[in-house]
Amino acid sequence: MKFLLTTILSLLPTAFAAFGVTRSGSNYLVDSGAGLVTTINGNNGDITSLNYNGKELQDRTKFTHLSSGLGTATVSSNIVSGNTAVISIKTSTITQYYIVRSGTNTIYIGTYASAEPSVGELRFIARLSKSALPNGHPAADIQSAGSTIEGSDVFLKNGQSKSKFYSSVPFIRDQVHGVTGSGVGAYIIVPGVSYETSSGGPFFRDINNQGGDQQELYWYMNSGHYQTDLPYRTGFFGPYALAITSGSAPSPDLDTSFFDSLGLQGYVPASGRGTVTGSYSGVLSGQPVTIGFKNSAAQYWVSASGGSFTRNLVKPGTYDVTLFQGELEAGSGRVTVSAGQTASVSLSVSLSRPNVIWSIGEAALYLFHIDFNELTPSLLGTPDGTPKEFLNADKIETMHPSDSRMSNWGPITYTIGSSSVNSFPMAQFKSVNSPTTIRWTASSSQIGARTLRIRTTGSFAGGRPQITVNNWTSSAPGAPTNLNSRGVTRGTWRGNNQAYDYPIPSGTLVAGSNTISINVVSGSSGDTFLSPNFIYDSVELF
């Protein structure tokens, strides 16, 4: 009996330990004093064990670390104020901090990077035990997938597409994401200020989870996944956290004020930051408003309402300010922020807003009267920078466009006045559903010289629209910015917003039936859904 008791106790050496850091060979053991014991390799900074109340959460074949592991690093520990353990992991360009506070099963994290990793991705990845934490994002569960659909990262499993890309959430909505098991959960917490050194803006999205043989939980700080904001920023990323719970999701309101006294490399305390207040006007009702701030060193955003906004904890500097109507850049300004001061800026919508004859999508909300069956528009266009009302937009964020759950992509013929907006494709692929055809019966007062405007939210392989109206064909517009990445097949529509205007000569449109064909043009080629393509925001005639 004594031998059995001794054996059990040896298997649980930290179960009853108090808060603190101890050395075991080359490892650092950090005990929260509340049930979580974290083991960190003293040679490279890998987290090799996450023991929560006797349950091992860490995968034992692959470990938790920054990027794909730092290789070798200088690791040290320090106890601050008797209740905060700081593990510092240093290389020539990276300092990674793991911080544990007494009585809290949360690993607070900060990352200082003076240069982007050579692989072009700065990410924290927790490679966790799939058996202990089996429940991740369903669309990202690739375990036992049968084959790949695209590249080496989009899979077919039980007839459905699965990919780590389909776990992504726009930064503005991504404060907590995690995985769970029986009586346990592991969650990444990213407070809003933590995105300040990342790239891409409020609507950028990146990988959160992949469930293979390991349960992988991510926070991407920088990547080239349809990235619109290059070059990457460097400096301090965070604070962010890996929180271990009994299963329920933690609050996104993570108190990291104690970071101010830790002296971490690159970290700017609250006393070294300022505030921006402002007002805005000209946004039509029904559109969410986001105010974004950006310079070469930092980015911020804040949701706004009622014509005013306040953004706290902004690092000193001069920022370009953007008013987003939905996800579309609708107004701009500039503001200079000083530490301990409040700066102000006024913004107004500066979009071109023609009185449209008709529109497809969010581009116009009609207030009209019927007079001998003629539609008379009386409200200006209101684009929102998304395809959310179009065909398959409700599915594209969590599945590949080839997925059997998608509605047929077409080619589509859309009839003005009778077709439903959700029958219009959210994306057009050169080798799949081109052309898109619009049929319209015009009155004599609606013809003459007109303009067709097509707004897009992203493109791939140089894809952009070219139109044919009855017997007239427009010239091909110039190629859009190449983001050098797959877009819509990775579950996102957020590239660069762009408006294409096509002046239709007088005499082209006729009173009666008209046909408009929209084709994809590009100097590149590709197969099916990797053929040149673009994503619709709206189509409007004025």
Token output for 525 = 């080629």
Same structural domain for residues 435 and 476? yes
Domain assignment of residue 480, yes or no: yes
The parent domain of residue 33 ranges over 2-254
pLDDT in tens, 448-466: 999 999 999 999 999 999 9
Same structural domain for residues 137 and 39? yes
Domain boundary residue, one of 348, 380, 398: 348
pLDDT of residue 16: 47
As a whole number of angstroms, the distance between CA 241 and CA 432 comes to 43
- 265: exposed, middle or buried (C-beta count within 10 Å: 0-12, 13-18, 19+)? middle
Same structural domain for residues 34 and 142? yes
Domain boundary residue, one of 199, 226, 254: 254
pLDDT of residue 383: 83
pLDDT of residue 105: 98
Same structural domain for residues 250 and 293? no
pLDDT of residue 117: 82
Domain assignment of residue 135, yes or no: yes
Phi, psi angle pair for 292, to nearest 5° = -110, 150
By mean pLDDT, which of 16-20, 190-194, 455-459 is the weakest? 16-20
Q: What is the CATH number of the domain that holds 99?
A: 2.70.98.10
Same structural domain for residues 52 and 198? yes
pLDDT of residue 120: 73
pLDDT of residue 2: 38
Domain assignment of residue 536, yes or no: yes
Domain assignment of residue 353, yes or no: no
pLDDT of residue 139: 98
Same structural domain for residues 242 and 221? yes
Same structural domain for residues 231 and 289? no
Same structural domain for residues 288 and 213? no
- Range 123-135 average pLDDT: 98
Q: Is pLDDT larger for residue 115 or for residue 294?
A: 294
Domain boundary residue, one of 316, 348, 380: 348
Q: What is the CATH number of the domain that holds 275?
A: 2.60.40.1120
Is the Cβ–Cβ distance between 483 and 537 less than 8 Å?
no
b/e code 523-535 from CB counts within 10 Å (16+ = b): eeebeebbbbbbb
State whether residue 365 is helix, strand or coil: coil
Measured between alpha carbons, how far is residue 409 from residues 252, 391, 427, 529 in Å? 38, 8, 9, 11
As a whole number of angstroms, the distance between CA 81 and CA 264 comes to 15
- 77: exposed, middle or buried (C-beta count within 10 Å: 0-12, 13-18, 19+)? middle
pLDDT of residue 196: 98
Q: Is the pLDDT of residue 6 over 60?
A: no
User: Residue 114: pLDDT band by 50, 70, 90 thresholds?
Assistant: very high
Domain assignment of residue 157, yes or no: yes
State whether residue 109 is helix, strand or coil: strand
- 28: exposed, middle or buried (C-beta count within 10 Å: 0-12, 13-18, 19+)? buried
Domain assignment of residue 158, yes or no: yes
Strand partners, 150: 154
pLDDT of residue 3: 36
**Nearest-CA neighbor of 278 among 348, 349, 350, 344?**
344
pLDDT of residue 368: 30
pLDDT of residue 373: 33
pLDDT in tens, 266-320: 999 999 999 999 999 999 888 899 999 999 999 999 999 999 999 999 999 999 9
- Range 199-224 average pLDDT: 97
pLDDT of residue 353: 78
Same structural domain for residues 380 and 450? yes
Same structural domain for residues 316 and 450? no
- With a pLDDT cut of 90, the percent of the chain lying above it is 89
pTM of the model: 0.92
Domain assignment of residue 333, yes or no: yes
pLDDT in tens, 46-72: 999 999 999 999 999 999 999 999 999
* Structural domains counted in the chain: 3
Q: What is the mean pLDDT of the chain?
A: 93
Q: What is the CATH number of the domain that holds 441?
A: 2.60.120.260
Q: Is the pLDDT of residue 116 over 90?
A: no
Reduced 3-state DSSP string for 57-78:
CECCCCCEEECCCCCCCEEEEE
pLDDT of residue 239: 98
**Structure-token match 């949701």, residue found:** 303
pLDDT of residue 382: 67
Is the Cβ–Cβ distance between 272 and 262 less than 8 Å?
no
Same structural domain for residues 343 and 370? no
Domain assignment of residue 71, yes or no: yes
Same structural domain for residues 231 and 343? no
480: left (phi over 0), alpha (psi -120 to 50) or beta: beta
pLDDT in tens, 363-389: 443 333 223 233 333 334 468 999 999
